[in-house]
Amino acid sequence: MGFSVSEAILCATRYPSILSIKSPSESLVEDLRVPNPEGGFDFLVKIDKLVRSRMDPATEIRETKRKKEYINMLANVADSETGIPTRCPCGGRIIHEVRGKDDYDTLPGKRFFTCKNYEADGLHYRQPWVIGVEEHIERLTRRVEEGEVLIKFVPEVNYKIQRLEGEVQALTQEHIERLTRRVEEVEVLIKFVPEVNYKIQRLEVRVAVA
């Protein structure tokens, strides 16, 4: 976990022993020059190492976790900023910003899709108009190409549908014919019901007389 210049100077002010200034005439910068094995000097290395040794481990863990979450959030926002945004990750709506002539900006163009609550902290959208439109056109182009590929399969799909319809119709006709035969058989059996009942009654009478 590194420290910024302001943080290092603040820590040095709180803990003068860190500086280990040899004489009042030596400057702070000269005293903080620590030789680098690869050549040159590394500034603030002495402060960084000594402050690390004095920092509470629990505090250092919390600070490291907080910075890691912040870095992950920055990465997620940067990765999701594609095409023409409709809503910022913070929930703010997107407005059309037109940059003034005298405003300096490293981003291309003068028009932007900008979050209404925009702040330069990496957690809000500010998509240049030219980039957003270009990415949106590329996305639409890919969708059109995918649609063209699907359209090529339409005749084959129609043929398969027609074949399935023919098979279903044949199966339905066969099923109807089978049911018709069974109904005819049942009707034949029904014709013998009165005669069977008459024979049953005669048998019952004979049994009763005996």
pTM of the model: 0.45
Burial of 51 (0-12, 13-18, 19+ CB in 10 A): buried
Burial status of residue 18 (CB atoms within 10 A of its CB: 0-12, 13-18, 19 or more): buried
Tokens (6 digits) for 205: 């009478």
Half-sphere exposure of 138 (CA within 13 A, CB side): 9
Q: Where are the domains of the chain?
A: 5-55, 81-147, 155-209
CA distances to 102, 106, 115, 117 from 95, rounded to whole Å, are 21, 20, 6, 10
Q: Is 87 helix (H, G, I), strand (E, B) or coil?
A: strand
Backbone φ and ψ for 98, nearest 5 degrees, come out as: -120, 115
Cα dist from 86 to 76, 89, 101, 114, whole Å: 16, 10, 26, 10
Length of the chain in residues, anyone? Answer: 210
Cross-strand bridge partners of residue 94? 115
Cβ pair 111, 129 in contact under 8 A: yes
pLDDT at 142: 93
Residue 45 has a CB neighbour count (10 Å cut-off) of 15
pLDDT given for residue 47 in this prediction: 61
Say how far residue 125 (Cα) sits from the centre of its chain. 17
Q: What pLDDT shows up at residue 205? A: 80
Going residue by residue through the chain (210 aa), what tens digit of pLDDT does each one get? 444 444 444 444 444 444 444 444 444 444 444 455 544 445 555 666 666 666 678 888 888 888 899 898 888 888 888 888 988 988 889 988 887 776 666 677 788 999 999 888 888 998 998 889 999 999 999 999 999 998 998 888 889 989 988 888 888 888 888 888 888 888 888 888 888 888 888 888 877 776
- Tokens encoding 8: 């290092």
Which pLDDT score is estimated for 188? 84
How many other C-beta atoms can be found within 10 angstroms of the C-beta atom of residue 133?
Answer: 16
